[in-house]
Amino acid sequence: MRVGTHPQLFTARLPGGGAAVMDIRTGRGRWQHLNATAALLWHRLTDGAPLEQTVDDLVEVFVGQGADGVAVRADLAAFVVQLRELGLLGARAAAAPGRDTVTVRPAAPADTPLGAADRVAGLAGMAAALILLRCCPIRTSIATARALARLPLHPAAPEHADFLFAAARRAARSWPGRAACLEESLACYLAAVLRGRSVAWVIGARTAPAGAHAWNEAAGAVIGQDAADRIWPYTPALRIGHATTQ
C-alpha cells in the first residue's frame, strides 16, 4: 500500500469504527464507505501489514469473540476481491489527523459587506477553482493546493476567513451552473492565498447517512457552514493548509 510518491487514497476514520476512502486517481474522486470489519482490515493494510497475515490475524480476533471462523474468512476474502476490483490494493494511502471536538462557525449573512480586495480575491479564486475542478481531475487541484501551501502565508483569522468564504460564495452567483461545496471551499482557499493568508482546505466524509463534503478551516474552526443543511461531524480524509499539509 506504499507504491508511488504522493498518496492516491485518503481515509476518513468514521465514528463507530467505519471508514470512508477517497480515491483521487480519476475525475472528481470516488468514495468507498467501509463498515467496521472492512475498515479494520483496510487500516491494517494501509499501515503496511501483509495481506495474508492480516486476514489470519483478524480471523483469530473474531473467532475469539465467538464468530464463525469460516464465515469471517469468507467475508474478508470477498472484501479483498472487492479491493482488487476497485484497484485499491497497492495504491499509496494516507489519512488526515482527526480531533476530538469540532467548532463550526455559522456562515456570514449573504448581505455581509465585503471589502474590494476580498471581493476581487473571491472572484479570482472562484474562477480558478472552476477551471481546475471542471477541466482537470481532482488530483490536479490537490497538487496545486499543496504547492500553494508552501508559500510564506499568514494564517487567516476566523473572522477574515468568514469574509473570504462569503466572497467566494458570492462570486459563484456570477458563474453559470452550480458551485457546490468542492468549488466553494477551493475558491475560498485560493482567495485566501491571493490575500496573503492561509486557510485549510478539507475534504471528508460522514456516516448515517453516508456522504462526503468539502470545507475550510481557520484557527481550528470550520467556517462558512449553513447549520440548516449540514449535519456534523464530518471526519477529514484530506486536509491541506498552513502547517497542515500532508
pLDDT tens, residue by residue, 103-129: 888 888 888 999 999 999 999 999 999
Query: Pairing relation of β-strands 9-13 and 221-225?
Result: unpaired
β-partners of residue 22 are 10, 31
Question: Does 29 score more than 60 pLDDT?
Answer: yes
Q: What's the rounded Cα separation, in Å, for the pair 4 and 20?
A: 21
pLDDT value for 24: 94
pLDDT, average across residues 4-31: 88
Indicate the average pLDDT of the chain: 89
Query: pLDDT grade, residue 26 (50/70/90)?
Result: confident
The residue type at 164: L
pLDDT digits 0-9 by tens, 217-230: 999 899 998 766 56
HSE (side-chain half, CA atoms, 13 Å) at 41 = 26
pLDDT, average across residues 81-96: 87
Bin 4: left if φ > 0, else alpha if -120 < ψ < 50, else beta: left
Instruction: Please report the sign of the dihedral spanned by the C-alpha atoms of residue 141, residue 145, residue 146, residue 147.
Output: positive
Measured in whole angstroms, how far is the alpha carbon of residue 50 from the centre of its chain? 27
Query: pLDDT grade, residue 243 (50/70/90)?
Result: very low
> What is the CA angle 183-205-30, rounded to 5?
70
pLDDT value for 230: 62
β-partners of residue 104 are 222
Query: Pairing relation of β-strands 19-23 and 30-34?
Result: antiparallel
pLDDT value for 242: 63
Spatial contact of 19 and 88, defined as CB atoms under 8 Å apart:
no
Spatial contact of 54 and 47, defined as CB atoms under 8 Å apart:
no
- What value does the CA radius of gyration of the chain take, rounded to a whole number of Å? 20
Query: pLDDT grade, residue 6 (50/70/90)?
Result: confident
Spatial contact of 29 and 22, defined as CB atoms under 8 Å apart:
yes
pLDDT value for 21: 96
| C-alpha cell at position 242 | 498552513
Asked whether the bond before 209 is cis by omega within 30 degrees of 0, the reply is yes
Q: What's the rounded Cα separation, in Å, for the pair 197 and 151?
A: 10
Q: What percent of the chain has pLDDT over 70?
A: 93
pLDDT value for 119: 97
Q: What's the rounded Cα separation, in Å, for the pair 197 and 217?
A: 12
pLDDT, average across residues 89-100: 81
Instruction: Please report the sign of the dihedral spanned by the C-alpha atoms of residue 154, residue 156, residue 157, residue 163.
Output: positive
Q: What's the rounded Cα separation, in Å, for the pair 239 and 142?
A: 10
Spatial contact of 227 and 104, defined as CB atoms under 8 Å apart:
yes
pLDDT digits 0-9 by tens, 58-75: 999 999 999 999 999 999
DSSP state of 15: G
